[in-house]
Every structure is written in structure tokens, then in C-alpha cells.
Amino acid sequence: MSSKILVIGAATLDRLLYVENYPTADSKSACSTFECGGGNGANTSCTLGRLLPPTTVTNVKMKINLLSKISTDGVGDFLINELNSYNVDTSNPLLVRSTGRSSVCTIIVTKNHPYTRTCFFDAGTVGTLDRNYALSAVEFDELLRDVEHIHSDSRHTEAAASIVKTAKNLNIRISVDVERDRYTQAFDDIIDYADTIFTTEDSLMRPILERRIGYDPFTISEEDVIEVDEFNFKCIMISYWLQSFNTTSNYDFAKEVIITRGERGSVHVKIEAIETCDILKLSDMDIKRIHSVKIKSESPECIYISHLVMHRSKKSDSNLIGEEKVTYKLTYCGPPKVNKDDVVDTTGAGDSFIGGYIYSGSKLCQSYVGSSDTLFRLKFASWVAGKKILGNGARTTLPTFEEAIKELGQNFTQLDHKIEKYHG
């Protein structure tokens, strides 16, 4: 059986500067340096590539394709060679080499103890994939042949939007890493078509949601009844609003939202059930929503939350237009067991987490491990990210399949012992 995962996103050169203290103006400071490939999409691709097992281990043969633009200069050659060394297939027609263009470069200044970093981004002149990079029908069919998953890091947005629209009709799973707002319709389209959305606790997609609905998505009025803590409330509201944007399918297929929390692990949010009652299609300007949010049940690693949304007309408070009853499942996962003194560099940790999560749900991993459980997938992604932060740059300590077997045991049965549990 053959299978492919496509990753659409950035491939850059990372120059890392490690300093004891951030320099003051007009000063000279010592630092150590490290140079390697970077870029969110490329990092996630390399994570997936490193986890590919020998063909003798499983009957599923998988390819990892990166779709991006890379220059034809020496830096571009270095990036291509490094991607190939991480088992990333660079032969597809949408990994475009731009003649006479300069590569994207990110300079990352890192201060340890306590860990902080500052990034300087040079977009170069390599440009981005856009709708002009259209393939012939035969080339496009070949690109999507045997693809089980497409991931976008939100770069090369126009090309990504075109691809995921076609992929949706083919029932290919789609995920997107939402770091910040791109302010384009293509960006919104990727989010709307995605089955899985990755974001961080720092942003919680607030600017994006606020732009699209016209007000703060986490606003609480005097009429609302909120009986969960602030973080859990924000988690379910992200899920609620993302589902409300979903014009590509009905509520029978709910999006999953994964929020990474750094040292506090991650949480997976998904709508389990939704009931609607006679909601008229009125302008949002005419509707007032009143929220009632309560815990339905909970365990150390899982919370079920019930959410009643009453839709009333702003013109008449007594006029109930309709209501929604939504049940969410929140699954919590702790961070990996890593000694803080052993942490070298968190650059690319989120990208490796995403790669680990995608891999754990792939046909390849399921053929070997046989578990698609959400908590298992979060734990595996956390373990992968925990290995990454032990080395310089985004890729040097990414685990291989063989390393996973050595540390986690056959079928990853020791995974539970490699992370700390976190809840609340």
C-alpha cells in the first residue's frame, strides 16, 4: 500500500545566535552560532520524514512531499540536500526552484535561563507559490494520487487554498497551523476547509476570529452563565466559532482544534454533538447570542462541556429566534518528561509536535501501532517535541522510527511513561 502526506509551507535558512544576555545598544557581545534549515512547513516535513520506518517493518510505503519555493543559489542547494537527508521527497512539481533569487532567512537570537528568543525575518526575493503555478490536469492528479493528508503552515496561501479545495472533494484530511492572521480570503478558505486546526495558547486565534465575526469572540455579557474556567471557555468558543464558519459541510463532521501550551502541554477540543432548533438565517447584526456553559462530566484527562446558545433578536429581547445545544470534548495532555536544564533550543518545537500528531494518525502509524485514540496522538506528538528541544535548531534531535522503538518499546507501549499528566 502506498500513501503520501503533502506539506505546503516555508523552507528557510535559520541562523541561530545563542547569547547569555541580550545586547544593549552600541555594545559588543559574545555568542555561539548554529546554521540549519528551518521554516514551519519544512520542519514538519522533516519530522515526518525522520519517523518513516524501514520498508520491512510495515506494508505501507509512505512519501513525504514538501510544496514550497526554494532558490537556486548555494543556500537553496543546502536546503534541498538537508530535506533529502531527512527523507523528504523534493521531486514533486510544486517544490519550485526560483532562478536568480535569494532565499528566505530567519535570524533567531536565543537567551537561555530563562529561555526567550527574538526572531528577525528576511523574506528574500524567492517569492511564494500562487495561483499562477497551475499544473496540468495530469500533473495535479499525480500530485494528489495516494495522498491521505495535506498540511498547510499558512504560507504560500493562494496555492494552498487551491489545493485544499480540490482535496476536500477527494476526502483527503486537511490540517493548518494558524500562527497569525494573513488577512486574505485564501487564508480564511484554508481554515474553513481544514479538518484539524493547530494554534497556541498565546494567540487562541483571537485576532482572526474577531476580524471575521466583528467583535471579541471571548466576550462575556451579564446575561451569560459561564461555569467553567477562562481557558476552557476560550477553548470551546474557538471550536464554536470555527464550526459556525463551516460552509463546506454540515455539523456531522466537526473540526478538531489543538492548542499547544508550552510547558503545560496541549489540549484537543472537538464538538461531540450539536442540536439546532429553528435558527433563522438572519444577519449577525440582528442577532444577540446568550451563552450558558457548564461542565457535563470530567476525568483527569478529559472534560465534557455543555453549551447552550440562545439566539435572540436585538430588536426584541423577548423574541427567541432559536437555540443551539453543543457538547464538546476537551482532552488534555501533559508536556514531555524533560529536565529543564537539558533544554537547548525550542525553535521548531511546535512544528515537530504537529509532525508527530499527523504521523500518529497516518495509515503508516496505524498499520504498526493500531491506535487512533486522541490522547495517544497527543502523547506521541508531545514525546516528539520533547526530543526536538534537546538539540540545536529545529531538526538536529528529531527522533527516528528506530529511536522511537528503542525508547518507547514495540508498538510504543511505553509512551504513557514518557510524559507528565496535566489537567485544568
DSSP alpha helix (H) spans, 61-184: 74-85, 137-144, 157-169
C-beta of residue 70 within 8 angstroms of C-beta of residue 96: yes
Overall fold of domain 1-151+339-424: UDP-N-acetylmuramoyl-L-alanine:D-glutamate ligase (3.40.1190)
Among the listed residues 336, 379, 337, the one whose alpha carbon sits nearest the alpha carbon of residue 361: 379
What DSSP letter does each residue of 161-230 carry, written as one string? HHHHHHHHHTT-EEEEE--S---SHHHHHHHHH-SEEEEETTTTTHHHHHHHHSS-TT---TT-EE-S-H
Among the listed residues 132, 177, 141, 134, the one whose alpha carbon sits nearest the alpha carbon of residue 8: 177
pLDDT at 81: 96
Distinct helix (H) and strand (E) counts, the chain: 11, 16
For the chain, the average pLDDT equals 89
pLDDT at 177 over 90: yes
Residue 424 binned pLDDT confidence (cut-offs 50, 70, 90): very low
pLDDT at 163: 92
* Between 353 and 134, the higher pLDDT residue: 353
CA 189, CA 184: separation in Å to the nearest integer? Answer: 9
Percent of the chain surpassing pLDDT 90: 57
pLDDT at 260: 96
Mean pLDDT for 310-326 is 78
pLDDT in tens, 181-198: 999 999 999 999 999 999
Domain boundaries, the chain: 1-151+339-424, 202-260+266-333
Mean pLDDT for 27-37 is 90
pLDDT at 248 over 60: no
Listed range (41-55, 133-147, 209-223, 380-394) with the worst mean pLDDT: 133-147
pLDDT at 281 over 60: no
DSSP code of 27? -
C-beta of residue 256 within 8 angstroms of C-beta of residue 199: no
Q: How is residue 281 written as a grid cell?
A: 438565517
pLDDT at 421: 66
pLDDT in tens, 51-89: 998 876 777 889 999 999 999 989 999 999 999 999 999
pLDDT at 275 over 80: yes
